[in-house]
Structure 1
Amino acid sequence: MKKLGKLASFLSLNIGFIILIGSLFAFWKPAAISWAVNYTSLFLGTAMFGMGLTIHVSDFRMMLRHPKDIFLGACCQYTIMPLMAWVLCRLFRLPPDLAIGVILVGCCPGGTASNVITYIAGGDVALSVGMTITSTLLAPVLTPALTYLLGGAWVQVSFWAMVLSVVKVVLLPVLAGIALQYFFHEQVEKIREVLPLISVIAIVMIISGIVAVNREKLLESGLLVFGIVMLHNLLGMGAGFLMARIFHEDYRKTTAIAIEVGMQNSGLAVSLAAVNFAANPLATLPGAIFSVWHNIAGSLFAGWRRRGVEVRRREMKDAAKESA
């Protein structure tokens, strides 16, 4: 079990590169992995169930103790990224297929990868987890509503169909995981270290399957989508950082908010695109590419912020020595 735990930890810390390897394999041998696209919703539900298993009742208490920070994070999550997506779609005059995919990414909640990246960056992990839980629980209403409002200009969006999709692949699995963790806490704790492995495998399978079935489309539109995705992520992270500074959040909370806002649950965007916009095959590409890019960008941002934490610690030690 310990070896599996170490493997899960390694894969979680390097999920961006694992997704990249899986995507390259899918691009090289599409026939070997294209079957996975038929189980996109199942894989995402599994990942969300794994997330639910890691949520404790104490996490909700923490959210109640810090409502201002959680509220700020949730507001940034569901305003900055959706509006950034809409602006980029208008600015670059994206075709409907790609536009609805970008909008979907922007309207999704934060992803669990943000919690890992926040930990690496030396940010406030408890706040990051609280924001992820909050945005995920709000997703069944806000994700369809925002997609309907912002994406309706490009394609027809069925609000209630999307609500049902999010409830099935996000809300119910997360609640089931929380319930299982609450009633069988001791048993779940024994396999806690292995749980991230389930989510990593599920997300890699989702993205690899999408890449496999869209190989030709990636060759045609991949560079454009990558550019849009990169801008979306970096602008979102930068705006989240700026908002946290405006509200005078401390160093660790600013780091957590910036990462949480910029890193989306792109697996959900892929799943929703596949289920609700089957007539728009390119709609899955932004989410698939975002899954690779935001982990790489998040890791780079984490390295920069981590160095800042170390510098501050050294300065505090030097100041303590001088005062002594």
Structure 2
Amino acid sequence: MLQAFLMLSILLSLSSLGYLYPTLFLSFKEHVPYLLTLVMLSMGMTLSKKDFINTLKKPLSVTYGAILHYTIMPILGFLIPKLFDFGKDLSVGMVLVGSAPSGTASTLITYLSKGDLAYSVSVTTFSTLLSPLLTPFWAWLLAGRYVSVPFLPMVTTTLKLIVLPIIAGMFLKRFIKVQKVERFLPYLTTLCIALIIAVVLSLNRDALQKSSSLLILGVSLHIVLGFVLGYAFGRLTGLDVKLSKTLSIEVGMQNSALSTVLALNFFGQEASLPSAIFSLLQNLYGLFLSFLLRRL
């Protein structure tokens, strides 16, 4: 629990600094892809053969989790902007964050919720490996209604930013004693994500001031509905409470750092704003959700 509060404190502190003192972080814009690479490298260093074996042991439930994630969240990301009448850029950003794979923080929230850790890691890993295809696909299908979406460049970029760093992290794990650094990796990941959020907030300070309340409400609805529908579909299909809790978290939490980088690379600064807000709120709501789910 202490780890979760420390990580949340890092996120909130750097995000606040990014909004209040934007000039401090503007120079980091060019380094955002490298920060995401560090996040995924850290994820690769924490994975093991056992994680992939667990995926193979439960292929149907893991595939089901990934399918739910890649249908519920993109569709919500498309519908909610229409409900709140967001402009083109924010609508594209909502679709992008909805099309991202499961977030790396989902494992920590699953642990705090007394969920199934092996299932959480399996769904996160599987959805992440699917992201070079499914994230650009949903962006092309849904965000393509607003703007031209470069499908193949997005596939290539996602492969470089997600899959290759994970493979490199797993390779590095063979040559270094991960146990000595593993406990610091969540903080490194959080610091990188917090810096990405701070950069986005510093770039979009004026846009955020104009649309902050509606955007926060829309993103909040996206997260909460993801949590609720993930749990509901788990129970409806016969999963036990422990697996359904885990599925709730896996559906509702996104790798918003990836959608932030894709937005900055292909669609502009304002399109990255929903991802930054999502990243902040999903950790805050996820922590609150863990208090509720651990009672089930």
1:207 to 197, 214, 218: 197
Shift in Å at residue 37 of structure 1? 1.9
**What is the correspondence of 1:1-324 to structure 2 with a 5 Å cutoff?**
10-181=2-173, 183-184=174-175, 187-278=177-268, 281-308=269-296
Shift in Å at residue 263 of structure 1? 0.5
Cα 1:13/1:124, change in 2 over 3 Å: farther
Amino acid at match of 1:284: S
Amino acid at match of 2:261: S
Which whole-Å deviations, capped at 9, do the CAs of 1:35-89 have from their partners, x for residues lacking one?
A: 2222110000111100110000110001111112101100111000011111112
Q: Distance between the aligned counterparts of 1:214 and 1:94, measured in 2? A: 15
Q: Distance between the aligned counterparts of 2:7 and 2:266, measured in 1? A: 27
TM-score by length of 1: 0.88
Q: Residue 111 of structure 1 aligns to a residue in which SS?
A: coil
Shift in Å at residue 165 of structure 1? 1.3
Shift in Å at residue 11 of structure 1? 4.8
Which whole-Å deviations, capped at 9, do the CAs of 1:257-280 have from their partners, x for residues lacking one?
A: 0001001011111111001112xx
State the identity as a percent.
36
Shift in Å at residue 90 of structure 1? 2.4
Q: Is the 8 A contact 1:102 1:286 kept in 2?
A: yes
Q: Residue 294 of structure 2 aligns to a residue in which SS?
A: helix
Amino acid at match of 1:203: I
Amino acid at match of 1:25: L
Return the index of the structure with the highest Cα Rg.
1
Q: Is the 8 A contact 1:17 1:292 kept in 2?
A: no
Q: Distance between the aligned counterparts of 1:179 and 1:264, measured in 2? A: 25
TM-score by length of 2: 0.97
Partner of 1:315: none
Uncovered stretches (5+) of structure 1, i.e. residues with no partner: 1-8, 309-324
Residues matched between the structures, number: 296
Q: Is the 8 A contact 2:4 2:287 kept in 1?
A: no
Q: Is the 8 A contact 1:16 1:294 kept in 2?
A: no
Q: Distance between the aligned counterparts of 2:62 and 2:284, measured in 1? A: 25
Q: Distance between the aligned counterparts of 2:122 and 2:100, measured in 1? A: 16
Shift in Å at residue 12 of structure 1? 4.5
Shift in Å at residue 18 of structure 1? 2.4
Q: Residue 97 of structure 1 aligns to a residue in which SS?
A: helix
Shift in Å at residue 13 of structure 1? 4.7
Q: Residue 177 of structure 2 aligns to a residue in which SS?
A: helix
Which whole-Å deviations, capped at 9, do the CAs of 1:95-142 have from their partners, x for residues lacking one?
A: 110000000010000011010000000000110010000000000000
Q: Distance between the aligned counterparts of 2:49 and 2:40, measured in 1? A: 17
Cα 1:172/1:208, change in 2 over 3 Å: same
Shift in Å at residue 93 of structure 1? 2.7
Q: Distance between the aligned counterparts of 2:16 and 2:190, measured in 1? A: 16
Q: Is the 8 A contact 1:15 1:295 kept in 2?
A: no
Q: Distance between the aligned counterparts of 1:21 and 1:248, measured in 2? A: 41
After the TM superposition, which of the residue ranges 52-61 and 65-74 deviates more from structure 2? 65-74
Q: Distance between the aligned counterparts of 2:44 and 2:265, measured in 1? A: 23
After the TM superposition, which of the residue ranges 12-21 and 120-129 deviates more from structure 2? 12-21
Cα 1:19/1:199, change in 2 over 3 Å: same
Q: Is the 8 A contact 2:10 2:191 kept in 1?
A: no
Q: Distance between the aligned counterparts of 1:14 and 1:257, measured in 2? A: 25
Q: Is the 8 A contact 1:12 1:197 kept in 2?
A: no
Shift in Å at residue 200 of structure 1? 1.2
Q: Distance between the aligned counterparts of 1:10 and 1:204, measured in 2? A: 18
